[in-house]
Structure formats: structure tokens, C-alpha cells
């Protein structure tokens, strides 16, 4: 389990250690410097004449930084200069620029800069505040570092200096940041980010290491409200912060490395998540399941199981206009290991489903979970019969219909058009699965004045708001999927960007339906479990997609970084469903 803790939680955990005189800043600075030295040495090796071409500005297949565009041997911009040939581990003469703010984040950066200077790097500190960490500044000066102030030199001069550097350390603000970066730091960062964005794809540029967090991100909510210099690597101290796992900020953090300061935050047994600002006792603010967590959640059939005990999934999906969604949702459910799948829908669609999945049953009967809505447009009169089926199922799962009639509520996945049909408060065992556009429509219907850009800018806030407004567990789809449930928030980054393709959501809905059906009674008894199973479904879906795509998401998952099309190739949704058995087997085998 990957856990992210809020700034107040980190501070609270640091407090007793600082009071006991633990040298946390020194530990942080040493770890930061070690990473920077390793990165600089690795980049020099990758640019040395005769070395194989590597990816630049991205994650190499070995998890080490390389080059984003493939460059031929010896194509270093300044030949054997600062970025040119370097012996293994030789970093002497490399240029480092430190961006230094007023607080301890700047202090970490200055102390790390002093260590870099002592290893032979040419270090320049750019001070973005009238007063910075005194001891850190003294250490850098004593080590031979150069110091300039943003109050004395103009921003374009600094931008030019940064362009010539091998590595930039962003130490403007860390967990003490409030709001968007203020001048002069904000202006500098905007100019640096603009200069970087203007570079042709794959052009040489300095490696950017964010100190604790990329300065300017919303540390506790992952928002990006102002300028931020995108990092290639973030070295974060003590624990992951929510902004390093949540979109959109996660996409600016690069490869994330956690330096253990002995805060003990990840050590305690976590029973539930909490809102930012709660004490560590209430658990991490955001969690991300890893494969072994998912293995523990999956219900593996035993010798006494039969199809009914394993879980029957009822699928109301597809219309004559959108029959494919039915095939995809049913395939996701069946391939994920449902004991049985019941398909309910138009006869012609049922025939198509049976043609692809003859094991499906097309008659009504008891189910242990519902999958409602894939391929059923809410505003389509022709979908009336499907709408009626969905209304009926929703009445059962929300408890509107008496248990005497329904035989008791069961968990449900409410997807696509069915989201618009939710009119009553739901239990958390109902998981709604909108993308940003569908969540926007839902929140507007509930009276919130938000547009799609607003949801995309603050996915955590709106996923939570939707959970609070509907009672349902909310799975907000994206390259990083945010899930808000009764016991907290998950942010899953498991799939390749190739997975953003038609029908992928239908497969996810079916897959999640199966996980809910297999643990139906547990979900009803402990509604927080629905969010965990939703996170598990996203992980399995993502891993299946990587398998189809031909790449591997392991490096990204290990790094806690956002996703991207860094490897692999295109995928189609039905192939993702077909890859689920192997993905589940791998997870269960601990692969």
C-alpha cells in the first residue's frame, strides 16, 4: 500500500523527532544530494560518446532517468562540455542551479547544494527571498557555491543560466506553501516553465529535481493553481504527500522517491483514510493499492464454492444503438471470474452477447451485484426498456424497494447513462463510475456551479463532493483514477495512457461488478470495502492493459509517478477484458 500524508500530519510526526534533536534536515539534504549525484552521473553516462541512446527527460526502462527523445551517440549539445562525456560516477564540473525559497525547503536545498559543491559540481544558488536559511547559506558558501539573488539579477538572466545547467533543484517551497507561488518565485517559475515548454520535443534541457514537492502544487489536494516547474524527479521527505499521487499535480512530479526520515507514518496499522488535516491516527489522506493489497482483497474460490456462492453479476448494458458496450461489460465481468453473468437487455443485443460469451444467461433472477448503464444513453427514448430495468435495480440497491420484494439490497456499479438516473441517496455499496464530463453533469444536476475544467482541476474535491452528495462511492476515471468512499480516498495510476480508448470503461464496470459480487455480503457489512474493491478493479484493469499494450507499468507504479505512454502500444477494450485472467493470476501469484 502506498500512503500519502498531509502536511499537518507530516509536521506532527516530525515534531517529537525535532524536539529530540534528530538531524532531519541533514538527513534530508544528504539523501537529496545522493539522488542528484546519481542522476547526474547516469545522465552523463547516457550522453557519453558510444553509449546507447536513451530516453531523455523521462523514465528509462531501468527506472533511471534518461532522454525523452532518442538521440544518437555523442549528440550532447555541447560536446564534451558540462553534459558531455563523463566517466562512470564522475560528476565533476557538472552545473547545478538551486532555486531557494525562504523556508526549510530552501534550507534542505542549500545543504544539499553544499554537498554537491564538495563533490566538484559548479553550484549556483538563486535566492528567491530576501532572507533564506542562514546555516544552509553559510554551508553552501563555505563549500564554494555561488550565490545570486532574484532581487539583484533579472529573471531572463536566471532562465539563461538554468538552460545551461545539468540539474536544477527546486527548493522554493515545500509543505509550508500557501496558495500559488508569490513573486518573485512565481515569476521565475513561470518563465522557466515557459522556456521549457518552448523547447522542441527531445531538445536537451536540465534535469529538474523537486525538493519535497514541486513548488507551487497543492501539497494536500494535488491542485495546480499557478506556475509549477515540472520535475523529472521529486525527492520527498518522511512520507508521500497527497499532491504527489493525485492529479493534476502528480503529472508534474516525475519519478517520486521517498526518503525515510524515521517519522513512522507508514509503520502504524492503517484502518481507514481521512480528510486532509486529520491527525495521523485517522490514517493517510490518500492511499494507492499495490498488487499484494489487491491479492488480499480478491476472493479465490475454494472446493466448496459453486457458481452462486462465487457471485452472480447482473448486467443491464447496451441498446440496439450501442450493443458493443453490453459485450464489453459482460466480458469484463465474465473474464474477472464471476460465478455467473446474467445479461438483461434487448433481444438482439442479448444474441450478440451470447455469440461472444455463450456462458452468459439472459434470464432474470437473483444477483449478488448489478452493473448498470454501460452503453445506455440516459436521454434516448429507444433505451426506455433499459432505463426501466435500471430504475428497478436502482430502487433495489438504494433500498427504495422493500427487501421483501428485492430479497435484499446488493452492491452495484452505476456507469454511463445510469449515473443520470440516480435520484435517491445511495449506500456506499453503490459505486458510480463517471469520467470528468459525467461527474460535471451529475454535480450540475445537484446544483453545483462547476464545469468540466473545474472538475479536472480539482478531482479530489469533486469526487469527495459527489460522494457526500449522493452517498455512493465515487470512482472518477482518468489516467490517475480518484476514488472517494466511506473510509477515504484512493488514487490509482495503473494503466498506460493507451487505455484511454472506447469501451475500456465498460470492461472496468463489468470487472468491478464481479469483485463486488464475489464479496457482496462483506461490502454490505463494511461499506468502505466498496472503495477498496473499486481501487482493486482499477489496478487489475491497468495491469491487463499493460499486458495487452506490450509495455510494463511496474517502473511507474514503483515510482508512484503518474502514467504516460512511456512504453507499449495501442490497446482495444475487448483485449483488455481477455487479459484479465492472466492479470489476476499474476497478482495472486505475487508477480
Ligand X SMILES: NC(=O)C1=CN([C@@H]2O[C@H](COP(=O)(O)OP(=O)(O)OC[C@H]3O[C@@H](n4cnc5c(N)ncnc54)[C@H](O)[C@@H]3O)[C@@H](O)[C@H]2O)[C@@H](O)CC1
- C-beta neighbour count of 571 within 10 angstroms: 23
User: CA distances (Å), 148 to each of 151, 208, 537, in order?
Assistant: 9, 19, 51
The reply, when asked if residue 480 is annotated as ligand binding, is yes
Q: Is 104 in the site for K ion (CB under 5 A)?
A: no
Give the contacts of 553 (CB within 8 A, at least 6 positions apart). Answer: 494, 495, 496, 542, 543, 546, 563
Would you say 184 or 485 has its CB closer to ligand X? 184
Site size toward K ion (CB under 5 A) is: 5
Cβ atoms of 488 and 273 closer than 8 Å = yes
User: Which of 33, 94, 98, 102 touches ligand X by CB under 6 A?
Assistant: 102
- Which residues, 195 to 234, sit near ligand X by CB under 6 A? 211-212
Whether 149 contacts 132, CB under 8 Å = no
- DSSP calls for 277-301: TS-GGG--SEEE--HHHHHHHS---
Q: How far is the CB of 214 from ligand X (least distance, A)?
A: 11
104 binds ligand X (CB under 6 A): yes
| Residue 552 assigned ligand-binding role | no
Query: Do the Cβ atoms of 532 and 490 come closer than 8 Å?
Result: yes
Residue 231 CA, distance from chain mean position: 16
Q: Which of 99-107, 227-235, 347-355, 507-515 is the region at the interface with K ion (rule: CB under 5 A)?
A: 99-107
In the set 89, 156, 179, 272, which binds ligand X (CB under 6 A)? Answer: 179
Q: Which is nearer to ligand X, 67 or 108 (CB)?
A: 108
* Distance (Å) of CA 540 to CA 62, 391, 492, 536: 23, 29, 11, 6
The three-state secondary structure class of 561 is: coil
104 known member of a binding site = yes
**Where do we find the cell 489522506?**
285
| Three cell numbers written together for 462 | 469533486
- Which of 2, 25, 98, 211 contacts K ion by CB under 5 A? 211
What is the Cα–Cα distance from 233 to 561, expressed in whole angstroms?
9
Q: Is 108 annotated as a binding residue?
A: yes
Least distance CB 155 / ligand X (angstroms): 15
Q: For the CB of residue 206, give the shortest distance to ligand X in the complex, in Å.
A: 20
Stretch that binds ligand X, among 177-185, 436-444, 449-457, 544-552 (CB under 6 A): 177-185
Peptide bond into 147 cis (omega under 30): no
C-alpha span between 66 and 363 (Å, rounded): 56
Q: Which of 173, 208, 217, 523 binds ligand X (CB under 6 A)?
A: 173
479 labeled part of a ligand binding site: yes
HSE at residue 425, side-chain half, CA atoms within 13 A, is 3
Is 177 known to sit in a ligand binding site? yes
162-191: which residues touch K ion (CB under 5 A)? Answer: 170, 174
Cα 260 to Cα 551: distance, rounded to the nearest angstrom: 30
- Which partner in ligand X, K ion, none is near 237 (CB below 5 to 8 A by kind)? ligand X
Question: Minimum CB separation from K ion for residue 234, in Å?
Answer: 8
Helix and strand element counts for the chain (H, E): 21, 19
How far is it, in rounded angstroms, from Cα 48 to Cα 90? Answer: 12
Least Å from the CB of residue 211 to K ion: 4
- Stretch of 175-183, 331-339, 394-402, 478-486 lying at the interface with ligand X (CB under 6 A): 175-183
The stretch near K ion (CB under 5 A) out of 65-73, 208-216, 366-374, 433-441 is 208-216
Query: What is the footprint of ligand X within residues 123-162 (CB under 6 A)?
Result: none
Among 55, 185, 229, 476, binds ligand X (CB under 6 A): 185
Nearer to K ion, 104 or 105 (CB): 105
CB of 212 to K ion, least distance (A): 5
494 is in an annotated binding site: no
Neighbours of 228 (CB within 10 A): 28
Q: Which is nearer to ligand X, 111 or 322 (CB)?
A: 111
Cβ proximity to ligand X, 102 vs 529, nearer residue: 102
Decide: is 523 part of the binding site for ligand X (CB under 6 A). Answer: no
The 3-state DSSP class for residue 48 equals: coil
Partners of 341 in the beta sheet? 313
How many angstroms separate the CA atoms of 570 and 543, rounded?
A: 14
Nearest distance, CB of residue 493 and ligand X, angstroms: 23
Q: Does 215 bind K ion (CB under 5 A)?
A: yes
User: Which of residues 172 and 530 has its CB atom nearest to K ion in the complex?
Assistant: 172
| DSSP classification of residue 320 | S
Does 480 sit near K ion (CB under 5 A)? no
* Residues β-bridged to residue 57: none
Ligand-binding annotation for 170, yes or no, is: yes
Site for ligand X in 21-40 (CB under 6 A): 24-25, 28
User: Minimum distance between the CB of residue 330 and ligand X, rounded to whole angstroms?
Assistant: 49
Nearer to ligand X, 178 or 306 (CB): 178
Query: What would the DSSP string read from start to end of 346-384?
Result: -HHHHHHHHHH-TT-B-S----SEEEE-TT--TT-GGGH
DSSP summary character for residue 240: B
Here the cell at position 506 is 465498460
Pull the grid cell for residue 221: 489536494
Chain positions contacting K ion, by CB under 5 A: 105, 170, 174, 211, 215
Chain positions contacting ligand X, by CB under 6 A: 14, 18, 24-25, 28, 101-106, 108, 173-182, 185, 211-212, 237
Residues annotated as binding site for AMP? 477-481, 505
Residues annotated as binding site for K(+)? 105, 170, 215
Residues annotated as binding site? 104-108, 170, 174-180, 212, 215, 325, 375, 435, 477-481, 505-506
Amino acid at each position: 500500500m502506498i500512503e500519502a500524508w498531509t502536511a499537518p500530519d507530516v509536521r506532527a510526526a516530525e515534531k517529537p523527532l525535532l524536539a529530540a534533536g534528530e538531524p532531519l534536515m541533514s538527513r534530508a539534504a544528504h539523501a537529496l544530494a545522493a539522488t542528484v549525484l546519481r542522476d547526474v552521473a547516469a545522465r552523463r553516462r547516457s550522453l557519453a560518446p558510444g553509449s546507447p541512446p536513451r530516453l531523455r527527460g523521462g523514465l528509462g526502462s531501468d527506472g533511471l532517468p534518461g532522454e525523452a527523445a532518442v538521440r544518437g551517440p555523442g549528440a550532447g549539445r555541447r560536446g564534451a562540455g558540462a553534459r558531455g562525456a563523463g566517466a562512470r560516477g564522475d560528476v565533476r564540473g557538472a552545473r547545478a542551479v538551486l532555486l531557494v525559497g525562504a523556508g526549510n525547503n530552501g534550507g534542505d536545498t542549500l545543504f544539499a547544494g553544499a554537498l554537491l559543491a564538495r563533490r566538484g559540481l559548479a553550484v549556483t544558488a538563486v535566492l528567491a527571498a530576501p532572507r533564506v536559511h542562514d546555516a544552509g547559506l553559510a554551508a553552501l558558501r563555505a563549500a564554494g557555491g555561488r550565490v545570486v539573488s532574484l532581487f539583484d539579477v533579472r529573471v531572463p538572466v536566471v532562465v539563461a543560466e538554468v538552460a545551461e545547467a545539468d540539474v536544477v533543484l527546486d527548493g522554493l517551497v515545500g509543505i509550508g506553501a500557501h496558495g500559488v507561488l508569490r513573486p518573485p518565485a512565481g515569476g521565475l517559475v513561470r518563465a522557466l516553465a515557459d522556456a521549457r515548454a518552448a523547447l522542441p520535443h527531445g531538445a536537451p534541457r536540465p534535469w529538474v529535481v523537486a525538493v519535497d514537492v514541486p513548488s507551487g502544487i497543492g501539497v494536500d489536494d494535488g491542485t495546480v493553481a499557478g506556475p509549477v516547474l515540472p520535475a523529472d524527479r521529486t525527492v520527498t521527505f518522511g512520507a508521500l504527500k497527497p499532491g504527489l499521487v493525485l492529479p493534476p499535480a502528480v503529472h508534474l512530479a516525475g519519478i517520486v522517491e521517498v526518503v525515510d526520515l524515521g517519522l513512522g507514518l507508514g509503520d502504524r496499522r492503517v484502518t481507514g483514510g481521512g480528510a486532509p488535516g486529520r491527525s495521523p491516527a485517522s490514517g493517510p489522506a490518500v492511499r494507492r493499492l499495490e498488487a499484494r493489497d489487491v491479492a488480499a482483497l480478491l476472493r479465490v474460490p475454494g472446493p466448496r464454492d459453486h457458481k452462486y456462492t462465487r457471485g452472480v453479476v447482473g448486467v443491464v448494458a447496451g441498446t440496439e444503438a450501442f450493443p458493443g458496450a453490453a459485450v464489453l461489460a459482460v466480458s469484463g465481468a465474465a473474464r474477472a471470474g464471476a460465478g455467473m453473468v446474467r445479461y438483461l437487455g434487448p433481444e438482439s443485443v442479448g444474441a450478440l452477447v451470447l455469440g461472444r460469451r455463450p456462458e452468459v444467461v439472459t434470464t432474470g433472477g437473483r444477483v449478488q451485484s448489478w452493473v448498470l448503464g454501460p452503453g445506455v444513453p440516459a436521454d434516448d427514448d429507444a433505451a426506455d426498456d433499459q432505463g426501466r430495468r435500471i430504475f428497478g435495480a436502482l430502487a433495489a440497491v438504494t433500498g427504495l424497494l422493500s427487501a421483501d420484494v428485492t430479497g435484499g439490497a446488493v452492491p452495484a456499479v452505476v456507469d454511463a447513462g445510469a449515473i443520470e438516473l440516480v435520484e435517491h441517496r445511495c449506500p456506499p455499496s453503490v459505486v458510480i463510475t463517471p469520467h470528468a464530463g459525467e461527474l460535471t453533469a451529475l454535480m450540475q444536476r445537484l446544483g453545483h456551479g462547476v464545469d468540466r475544467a473545474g472538475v479536472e482541476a480539482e478531482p479530489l474535491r469533486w469526487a469527495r463532493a459527489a460522494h457526500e452528495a449522493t452517498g455512493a462511492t465515487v470512482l472518477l476515471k482518468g489516467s490517475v483514477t480518484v476514488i472517494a468512499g466511506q473510509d477515504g480516498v484512493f488514487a490509482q495510476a495503473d494503466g498506460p495512457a493507451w487505455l484511454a480508448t472506447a469501451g475500456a470503461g465498460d470492461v472496468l464496470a463489468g470487472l468491478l461488478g464481479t469483485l463486488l459480487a464475489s464479496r457482496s455480503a462483506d461490502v454490505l457489512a463494511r461499506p468502505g470495502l466498496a472503495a477498496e474493491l473499486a481501487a482493486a478493479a482499477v489496478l487489475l484493469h491497468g495491469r491487463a492493459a499493460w499486458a495487452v499494450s506490450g509495455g510494463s507499468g511496474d517502473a511507474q507504479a514503483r515510482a508512484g509517478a503518474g502514467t504516460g505512454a512511456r512504453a507499449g502500444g495501442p490497446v482495444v477494450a475487448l483485449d483488455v477484458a481477455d487479459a484479465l485472467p492472466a492479470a489476476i493470476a499474476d497478482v495472486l501469484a505475487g508477480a
